[in-house]
Chain A
Amino acid sequence: MDNKIPAVKMRNITKTFGPTVANDKVWLDIYRGEILALLGENGSGKTTLMNMLSGIYFPDEGAISIDGKDVVIRSPKDAFDLGIGMIHQHFKLVDVLTAAENIVLGLPGKLDLKAASEKIRTICEAYGFEVDPNQKIYDMSVSQKQTVEIVKVLYRGADILILDEPTAVLTPQETDKLFNVLRNMRNDNKAIVIITHKMHEVEALSDRVAILRHGQFIGDMPTAKTNAQEMTNMMVGHAVTLNIDRPDPVDPKPRIVVKNLTVRSIDGIVKLDDVSFTANSGEILGIAGISGCGQKELLEAIAGLQPVEKGSIEYIEDDGRAEQLLGKDPLTIQQMGVSLSFVPEDRLGMGLVANMDLSDNMMLRSFRRGHSVFTDRKTPRQLALDVVQELEVVTPGISTPVRRLSGGNVQKVLVGREIASAPTVLLTAYAVRGLDINSSYTIYDLINKQKKSGVAVVYVGEDLDVLLELADRILVLCGGKVSGIVPGRGANKRDVGMMMTKLGGNAHE
């Protein structure tokens, strides 16, 4: 294999965004008939590097050659012409167009959707996809959209495929299916790159692994000759333990009691169907499920942001009194004396105001305090300073707009503000998404600290490994219904995965 000419040769690639160096003199070889796992933490420059291959970005320095020939990739079109196709993490699809229209987008020639549909069907049959060419994208599930993306690059005749974290939105079963397709393509002598930070995927799928850290190329090797611990060390730069602390709950008492909750979206689709559960104080209730199975609606219903069709959400005070939260907006809930904190999934679009500085963002929850017409600026300033210091937020100062901070630091600011109000209930959605390992552990620690001080924590997560190690109980959602509630200690990943795709999870095997 060593004497083969690489399909792609990247040399000395450097890319900077303002002051941040995203890629620093990176070398990378990609071969045909091989699946390469590009491994690295979030923010290590994997996506940026691949974006330069697919023509989204242009490198500041460095050279790229395809099949031994020097090339310049100035635009996505150049990349297509060279047979490079990338499936982005955030799908590049136009919602109001159909699958076929999306697939032929950007191609030259006369528009003939009928012929295109035919060709799409052929591709689907060859690899075992299911795509309806006439379906609109906005009617599709996430995995359907991903399929459209893959068909799109194949339709263009790509033989170098790049997939950016393709499994983040898939169930374990869908992931297996995808991996089989990828193996078929490898056997077709295509070159495949999969960007990931999940070790088990690397081990299960790839032939070779290349590792980036802080924008620098650390090394590559055949997957068979390494192991998870070694790869993790290379990724993080020092040995880390993969264990997450899980203290036993102290004196758990019911805090939030949800009964028969049913939620419909504006379009009339049932998002939550007869959901009932209890969240206890001093305990972490994990919520597992494929993305879009009602997690968002569930948290937003408790936080008073989601209109509910029927059911009840009760908050149980320390003295046993029950207060109905249903039909109340966040302000009313706050005024009732219920201290409920919510770390939403969309940090900069919902939890924080991207263009405001740290100090002003701290005010979001508390600016109404006091009878004055004017806002109090001193307290939030102090809070911002405290959060920066205690959570080690890396920022030029507290008057920096939060959009200028990195993902991990943004999350620290948000979590810092939410726990500053001494909550009794803490709702978190994908609290570590996009965070590097160190920041993730900081967040786990903060959540555990809240749990120890008697807060009822609801933790919606996507990484099952983490959920299994962190949560005391795990509620599994499947298509808006409760598929089951299992204790976190001793739960089996495969079982939980089954419950995510099938109610009750009693598998067919």
Chain B
Amino acid sequence: MNNKTRSPLIHVSKRGLLPWYKAWAIRGAALVLALVTCGLITSLVTRQNPIQVYAAIINGSFGSPRKIWVLLQNISMLLCISLAVTPAFRMRCWNLGAEGQALIGGLAAAACMILLPGKLPNWGIIACMCVASVLSGAIWAAIPAFFKAKWNTNETLFTLMMNYVATQLVAYYCVVWESPKGSGTIGVINPTTELGWFPQIGSYKYLLNILIVAAVCLAMYVYLNYSKHGYEITVVGESERTARYVGIKVDRVIIRTMLLSGAVCGLAGLLLVGSTNHTLTTTIVDGRGFTAVMVSWLAKFNPIWMILTSFLIVFLGRGSGEIATKFGLNRSFGDILTGLILFFIIGSEFFINYEIHFRKSGGKEG
């Protein structure tokens, strides 16, 4: 009997290292495939022709100067939080608490804006906001980090729970500081005096945010790839035992890195409250803390690639929002499309790491 005919039909084996361009070609192909699928589904649902659908997606992001600015603003916020979680991820510390850390940063900023007018000049308020937000975000992240470092408490769930604690804390203050009375929301803070509002650069409302995040992105890239801290983070992430063996104080690195992670989240909260919205709600971070996990992972934890991946996610979000309004669909359609595209890209990693051999037809050996 021929052995071949009964061997498994499909055989999978691990690939050697693919050159980076091939790997990105596979990811690119997955993306294209995903977009085609999304286009088809959208066409089916809306009964529009696919070209119109794609046009609507592009229009959603680039349709007008205002839309472009909103796009850039959203990218910068998502990128900021993605950058924040990255050092922790490189350390294999799954910080899913970016949502809460940013929220607490925003809360601190709002507190300064509400409580300090009359006691400090405007620049003093802004300075206090900066310090308070960054610090509170850092502390919020340091709490789970402390327990992880000390007792190896599962950080994924700890940080996740901290999100909801943060949400409830903000909900509490939303009632305490409500304005007008009885509304249960804070409303725009200092609408007439504009105290604590970040300055605008020229007539561009979002430019300041974008510039700050660009600077953070560059700094993060350099920090992770060229600094001694960055090297320590990588070693701890790859193997804690190796880190201890060469004398790296693992618990200290964990806490330090999570402090950094939280501080950048706090900065994101600061920008959201102080520079963009001038108010505080429990949903101001808008799920970016979770989206950031995917942005960071898709970019293989590389800050520069993250610009691209966060663009991709925001672009799709804005685009499907446009489809939703234009064709009378529900806004959540965007989440479905984003999910679909992520599935494609997540799945494509398989083809980068593994090879598939199909059973060769015909037996040639004796």
Q: Do chains A and B touch in the complex (CB under 8 A)?
A: yes
Contacting B245 at CB < 8 Å: which of A19, A330, A368, A374? A330
Query: Are A58 and B228 neighbours in the complex by a CB distance under 8 Å?
Result: no
Interface of B is mostly: mixed
Q: How far is the CA of A346 from the CA of B242 in the complex (A)?
A: 10
Residues of A close to B16: CB separation below 8 A: 18-19, 404
A70 within 8 A of B: yes
Query: Are B242 and A373 neighbours in the complex by a CB distance under 8 Å?
Result: no
Nearest A-chain residue to B11, judged by Cβ: A58
Query: Are A364 and B8 neighbours in the complex by a CB distance under 8 Å?
Result: no
A478 within 8 A of B: no
Q: How far is the CA of A363 from the CA of B7 in the complex (A)?
A: 47
Query: Are A355 and B238 neighbours in the complex by a CB distance under 8 Å?
Result: yes
Query: Are B14 and A373 neighbours in the complex by a CB distance under 8 Å?
Result: no
Nearest A-chain residue to B14, judged by Cβ: A18
Query: Are A353 and B239 neighbours in the complex by a CB distance under 8 Å?
Result: yes
Query: Are B245 and A350 neighbours in the complex by a CB distance under 8 Å?
Result: yes
Query: Are B239 and A349 neighbours in the complex by a CB distance under 8 Å?
Result: yes
Residues of B close to A94: CB separation below 8 A: none
Query: Are A330 and B246 neighbours in the complex by a CB distance under 8 Å?
Result: yes
Query: Are A63 and B239 neighbours in the complex by a CB distance under 8 Å?
Result: no
Query: Are B241 and A364 neighbours in the complex by a CB distance under 8 Å?
Result: no
Contacting A72 at CB < 8 Å: which of B7, B11, B242, B247? B7
* Interface range for B: 20 to 34
Query: Are B242 and A352 neighbours in the complex by a CB distance under 8 Å?
Result: yes
A310 within 8 A of B: no
- Say how far A501's CB is from chain B's closest CB, in angstroms: 30
B6 within 8 A of A: yes
Query: Are A329 and B247 neighbours in the complex by a CB distance under 8 Å?
Result: yes
Contacting A356 at CB < 8 Å: which of B6, B13, B238, B247? B238
A96 within 8 A of B: no
Residues of B close to A352: CB separation below 8 A: 242
Question: Chain A 349-365, CB within 8 Å of chain B: the 1/0 string?
Answer: 11111111000100111
Query: Are A350 and B239 neighbours in the complex by a CB distance under 8 Å?
Result: yes
- Say how far B129's CB is from chain A's closest CB, in angstroms: 28
A344 within 8 A of B: yes
Question: Chain B 6-28, CB within 8 Å of chain A: the 1/0 string?
Answer: 11100101111100000000000
Nearest B-chain residue to A348, judged by Cβ: B239
Given A58-B11, A404-B17, the answer on whether A351 and B228 have CB atoms closer than 8 Å is no
Query: Are A61 and B365 neighbours in the complex by a CB distance under 8 Å?
Result: yes
Given A350-B241, A367-B231, the answer on whether A58 and B365 have CB atoms closer than 8 Å is no
Residues of B close to A62: CB separation below 8 A: 3, 365
Query: Are B244 and A305 neighbours in the complex by a CB distance under 8 Å?
Result: yes
B234 within 8 A of A: yes
Nearest B-chain residue to A376, judged by Cβ: B228
Q: How far is the CA of A138 from the CA of B245 in the complex (A)?
A: 25
Question: Chain B 269-288, CB within 8 Å of chain A: the 1/0 string?
Answer: 00000000000000000000
Contacting B228 at CB < 8 Å: which of A305, A333, A346, A373? A373
**Contacting residues of chain B (1-55) with chain A, CB-CB under 8 angstroms:** 1, 3, 6-8, 11, 13-17
Question: Chain A 203-231, CB within 8 Å of chain B: the 1/0 string?
Answer: 00000000000000000000000000000
Show 25 residue pairs from A and B whose CB-CB distance is below 8 angstroms, ordered by the A residue: A12-B365, A18-B16, A19-B16, A74-B8, A303-B245, A330-B245, A331-B247, A331-B248, A332-B247, A349-B239, A350-B241, A351-B242, A351-B245, A355-B238, A356-B234, A356-B238, A360-B231, A363-B231, A372-B228, A373-B227, A374-B228, A375-B226, A375-B230, A375-B231, A401-B17
List residues of chain A with CB under 8 Å of any chain B CB. 12, 17-19, 58, 61-64, 70, 72, 74, 303-305, 329-334, 342, 344, 346, 349-356, 360, 363-365, 367-368, 372-375, 401, 404
